[in-house]
Amino acid sequence: MVNNTYPRPGSQAERGLPASRRRFLAVLGTATAGLPLLGACGASAGGPAASDHRGSMGDALPRVRVSQEASPGREVKRTSFPITAVGLTWTGPPHGVRLRLIDRSGKPGEWQDVTAGCPCGKDAETLRTKSTTPPNRALVPAHGSYGYQLDVDSGVKVIEAIAIDAGRLGRKQRPAPSGTPSKSAPATAPDTSGSVAFPPPGLVLRADWGADETKRLTADGRESSPTRFTRVQAITVHHTATPVDDPDPAATVRAIYEQHAVSNDWGDIGYNFLIDRQGTVYEGRYSGADGIPAHNADDEVVTAFHTFGFNPGNIGIALLGDFGKQRPSSRMRDSLVRLTASLAARHRLNPLARVTYRSPTSGKSTDGPALGGHQDWTSTECPGSAAYLDLPEVRERAAQLAR
């Protein structure tokens, strides 16, 4: 029996959700009388309740628990579950936010500075801030903490905070090691060049990393962000600015999915693919039931939400970790080379070339690399200086494989 527990209609947790999600939870949710979550330390019952998202797989899905607050303020926020990550959305400067984690006993840790991540999002999204640019967003690892507290500078307004317990996959569900086929992955076949294959061996599909597909849907069962496909023009590399030595990459992927799909109201994870330090590749943005990750039957790529202003026809690949100073592992680099080579061969892109990207939505044209980093398209440090310095070698190796 599937047990769905969602925020009470009209609760503080529910009011913090985007409108489409509130409608969805109002239809599927049931009133709960659980312990207060994300309430002020020592507050009485009646605070926001956690949401436990389950899909048609029932208990096969990891048990993801979420508590969300609009305008969280500076009070200590507590949860009854261990937090994988805290997602923050704020307006004002990209710096000026500090966070400290609270352990199970209520003891606070050290204050840490929070810096906004790269400017991702829908090209045509209507922002809740009514701004012409996306708000600042960050996903802060919480290491199993049971609460957090925020402190902000003048001019900074945190408009939403989300505490995520991404759950755990069962032993039989854990992603296959790099280089071994995922049991539910489509058969790998060579592309027209005969030199590389797509999808690459060992690709972990959405079902295998524990994606709850209900997060993509509105109350009436439609896609919150309908899939749209265009011809491939470029490939862009990102980093997630999460820990490099990640003990549970699949949980991090689920936490990113939760923040992107629900908290940001994008309707799905913003990347087409993600790669962990062991070289395992994860399927990102949903692209239909035809069995071709990131593509439709006409070999067009699904539009994701990774490079604000340059999303359609741009394949986004995220490296799990922070590569501002530390270089990606050799396994991660090897997987990035194989994946980009297979995509370049499939779409007849030269990884060493520059292209004129034309947005099918705005009609604007911009020159950029066929295989580049996020900072080639907009003002950002993504994918981190160390990863960006690796890209010339990645291009050379991918070009050799794609011939």
Q: What is the pLDDT of residue 17?
A: 46
Of 12, 7, 13, 49, the closest CA to residue 27 belongs to 7
Q: What is the pLDDT of residue 171?
A: 60
* Count of beta carbons in the 10 Å neighbourhood of residue 12: 22
Q: Side chain identity at 394, as an amino acid letter?
A: V
Q: How far is the C-alpha of 160 from the C-alpha of 68, rounded, in Å?
A: 7
- For residue 312, say if its preceding peptide bond is cis, omega within 30 degrees of 0: no
Q: How far is the C-alpha of 207 from the C-alpha of 319, rounded, in Å?
A: 20
The highest-level CATH class for domain 179-402 is: alpha beta
Determine how β-strand 189-190 pairs with β-strand 197-198.
antiparallel
Q: How far is the C-alpha of 63 from the C-alpha of 77, rounded, in Å?
A: 21
Q: What is the pLDDT of residue 9?
A: 31
Q: How far is the C-alpha of 116 from the C-alpha of 134, rounded, in Å?
A: 11
Of 359, 361, 360, 387, the closest CA to residue 371 belongs to 387
Task: Evaluate whether 50 touches 258 at the Cβ level (below 8 Å).
Answer: no
Q: How far is the C-alpha of 21 from the C-alpha of 369, rounded, in Å?
A: 37
- CATH 3.40.80.10 in the chain, residues? 179-402
Task: Evaluate whether 120 touches 377 at the Cβ level (below 8 Å).
Answer: no
In sequence order, what are the residues at sequence separation of 6 or more whose Cβ sits closer than 8 angstroms to the Cβ of residue 200? 188, 281, 335, 338, 339, 342
Q: What is the pLDDT of residue 124?
A: 61
Residue 299 to residues 68, 185, 191, 348, 382: CA-CA distances in angstroms?
38, 18, 12, 12, 28
Of 240, 248, 264, 224, the closest CA to residue 165 belongs to 248
Beta bridge partners of residue 9, listed in sequence order: none
H-helix or E-strand containing 12? helix 12-15
What is the chain's alpha carbon radius of gyration, rounded to the nearest angstrom?
20
Compute mean pLDDT per 10 residues along the chain, 403 residues long, and list them. 32 41 37 29 32 44 91 95 96 94 97 86 53 80 96 95 92 53 43 66 94 93 93 96 92 95 93 97 95 95 92 96 95 97 96 94 89 93 95 97 91
291 conformational bin, left if phi > 0, alpha if psi -120 to 50, beta if neither: left
Residue 121 to residues 72, 133, 312: CA-CA distances in angstroms?
23, 9, 12
Of 151, 118, 146, the closest CA to residue 134 belongs to 118
Per DSSP, the three-state class of 35 is coil
Q: What is the pLDDT of residue 364?
A: 83
